[in-house]
Chain A
Amino acid sequence: MSRYYTKDHEWIEIAGDTGTVGITDYAQAQLGDITFVELPSSGQQVTRGSSVSVVDSVKAASDVYTPVSGTVADANHALTDAPELVNTDAEVGGWLFRVTLSDPAELDGLMDRAAYDLYVEGL
């Protein structure tokens, strides 16, 4: 298993041909209290960089972009009743959706943890 990061503060964890996507702890801290998460439907075709989910905080609504193209395989329905999981457990239990990858080569353009940490430090 390996995990990658985007400049838009999403993480994606790869297991086989499926990636689990969420937002980083840095991102949730920037957004503040999350009150609602709009999740994609399973079976939805998605293209890398397109908005697939929306995270609503008290002050703003933020798009979440999929780091990879493919088909939505699942979404984290626990967030429907407990959107605050994205605040308390952004990088594990607060995952947003799973995508079956159509082009694993897209992962090559993403950052690893060390590169992402450096990127955030520079913000």
Chain B
Amino acid sequence: MSESEVLDSDDAGETPATLTLPLDAWHRQRGARMVEFAGYWMPVQYAGEGGGIIAEHLWTRGHAGLFDVSHMGQLTVSGEAAAEALEALLPGEIAGLKPGRMRYSLLLDENGGILDDLIVTRRGADFYIVVNGATKWDDIGHLREHLPDAITLTHMDEHALLALQGPAAVQALTRLGIEPAREGGPPVEALRFMQGGGYRWQGRPLGISRSGYTGEDGFEISVRECDVTAFADAICDQPEVRPIGLGARDSLRLEAGLPLYGHDLSPETDPVSAGLAFAISKRRRADGGFPGAGRILALLASGTPRVRVGLTLDGRMAAREGAKVFTGDQEVGVVTSGGFSPSLQHPIAMAFVASDRSSPSTPLEIEMRGKRIAAHVVPLPFIPHRYVR
């Protein structure tokens, strides 16, 4: 027996040694199976009662799961005209972002290809940006090269990042006695989706936002490395909360229809084909001024030859990344993410297919190991989002 595919890291080939996360020992104590991902040893799933990808996935949908996503890059950008400097690299409305508000955006190359997807938060005096783990070193290089000298870029590499996701996340977090750092700031339960702020827990600073990568209500929490073990213990002491590995993180985001950089998105992908046109803000469409604006605005007007869609598969055999999609003999697309949906109990996939084959219910076939699997197009997400807006 041999694994022909694994949950792979994104070829961080030049990185010499695999790094450990601040919670490495914490994960191992909980029976985590550690795998290399994005240059770090990360928990793919936990052992024991309630462990395993399907159980962890369903626990998160029904209760609350704690994810360690400290491999992701936490950056700050500050300086006069920082918003304008970021707008030269991203297609989002950054200048008009109110303090405490967050925006999903894209780092674009000069052709409008996607270098990374990220979230920008305007804090009081600066911007806080979270980027993907596998791309963070390239992102930092790109930002240093393209941001003006007057702008300061800081890598918060002494901070861990946790995500608490699921319908019970709010009650578990509320019980910890977290207070706003600023007098008059909203309590954590008053935050709405894509809002964040500074908080304190037992005197320790936290950055908390209502956001995540599962489609559920939940929070992302930036915490100093020196405080993260105590904080993770306090959260996992709550009866609603279990630690959840990378495996379930992937199946949860797939059901939520959320793209994964390096798989569904790449420099060869433009935001319009990827179904991410919402990230190109209205003013930016009118004024342009972001990398690849000419091409992207033309694609917005004309449509793209292929688009990202959701597919639901007959039977139980999953389609994996790279599987070709057919209509009869004609190759019309490729799967970029696929797997078994624990919530729906059948396989699902995301694929880029020819636009004239992209409307819901269109029957398609996916080639896997020489066999054809019947599939059809369904609207994304597969599972409705339950954000608190």
A residues neighboring B (CB under 8 Å): 8-10, 23, 27, 31-33, 35-36, 38, 54-65, 83
Interface of A is mostly: strand
Say yes or no: B340 contacts A58, CB within 8 Å. Answer: yes
Say yes or no: A64 contacts B1, CB within 8 Å. Answer: yes
Say yes or no: B3 contacts A32, CB within 8 Å. Answer: no
Residue of A32, A38, A63 with most partner-chain B CB within 10 A: A32
* Nearest CB of A to B345, in Å: 9
Say yes or no: A60 contacts B5, CB within 8 Å. Answer: yes
Interface bits B358-386 vs A (CB < 8 Å: 1, else 0): 00000000000100000000000000000
Chain B, Cβ-Cβ closest to A64 = B1
Say yes or no: B1 contacts A62, CB within 8 Å. Answer: yes
A-side contacts of B318, CB under 8 Å: 35-36, 56, 61
Say yes or no: A36 contacts B340, CB within 8 Å. Answer: yes
CB of B180 closer than 8 Å to a CB of A: no
Chain B, Cβ-Cβ closest to A6 = B1
Say yes or no: A83 contacts B339, CB within 8 Å. Answer: no
Say yes or no: B1 contacts A63, CB within 8 Å. Answer: yes
B-side contacts of A56, CB under 8 Å: 316-318, 340
Say yes or no: A58 contacts B339, CB within 8 Å. Answer: yes
Report the bound CA distance from A64 to B4 in whole Å: 10
Given contacts A32-B52, A65-B2, 8 further A-B contacts (CB under 8 A): A8-B1, A31-B3, A32-B53, A33-B52, A38-B317, A59-B247, A60-B5, A61-B320
B-side contacts of A59, CB under 8 Å: 6-7, 44, 53, 247, 250, 339
Say yes or no: B2 contacts A63, CB within 8 Å. Answer: yes
Report the bound CA distance from A36 to B6 in whole Å: 16
Chain A, Cβ-Cβ closest to B8 = A60
Report the bound CA distance from A31 to B354 in whole Å: 34
* Nearest CB of A to B298, in Å: 39
Residue of A35, A59, A83 with most partner-chain B CB within 10 A: A59
Residue of A27, A38, A60 with most partner-chain B CB within 10 A: A60
Number of interface residues of B (CB under 8 A): 27
19 pairs across A/B with beta carbons < 8 Å? A8-B2, A10-B1, A27-B1, A32-B53, A32-B247, A33-B52, A33-B55, A35-B318, A35-B347, A36-B340, A54-B369, A56-B340, A58-B340, A59-B44, A59-B53, A60-B3, A61-B3, A63-B2, A65-B2
* Nearest CB of A to B54, in Å: 4
A-side contacts of B339, CB under 8 Å: 58-59
* Nearest CB of A to B170, in Å: 27
Interface bits B308-323 vs A (CB < 8 Å: 1, else 0): 0000000111101000
Chain A, Cβ-Cβ closest to B371 = A38
Report the bound CA distance from A62 to B2 in whole Å: 5
Residue of A10, A56, A65 with most partner-chain B CB within 10 A: A56
Report the bound CA distance from A56 to B55 in whole Å: 17
Say yes or no: A60 contacts B1, CB within 8 Å. Answer: no
CB of B342 closer than 8 Å to a CB of A: yes
B-side contacts of A8, CB under 8 Å: 1-2
In the complex with contacts A32-B45, A32-B247, A54-B369, A62-B4 CB distance below 8 A: yes
- In the complex, chain B residues 48-74 whose Cβ is within 8 Å of any chain A Cβ: 52-55, 57
Say yes or no: B5 contacts A58, CB within 8 Å. Answer: no
Report the bound CA distance from A46 to B96 in whole Å: 66
Say yes or no: A33 contacts B53, CB within 8 Å. Answer: yes
Say yes or no: B53 contacts A9, CB within 8 Å. Answer: no
Q: Which of B3, B52, B57, B316 contacts A36 (CB 8 A)?
A: B316
Report the bound CA distance from A83 to B318 in whole Å: 13
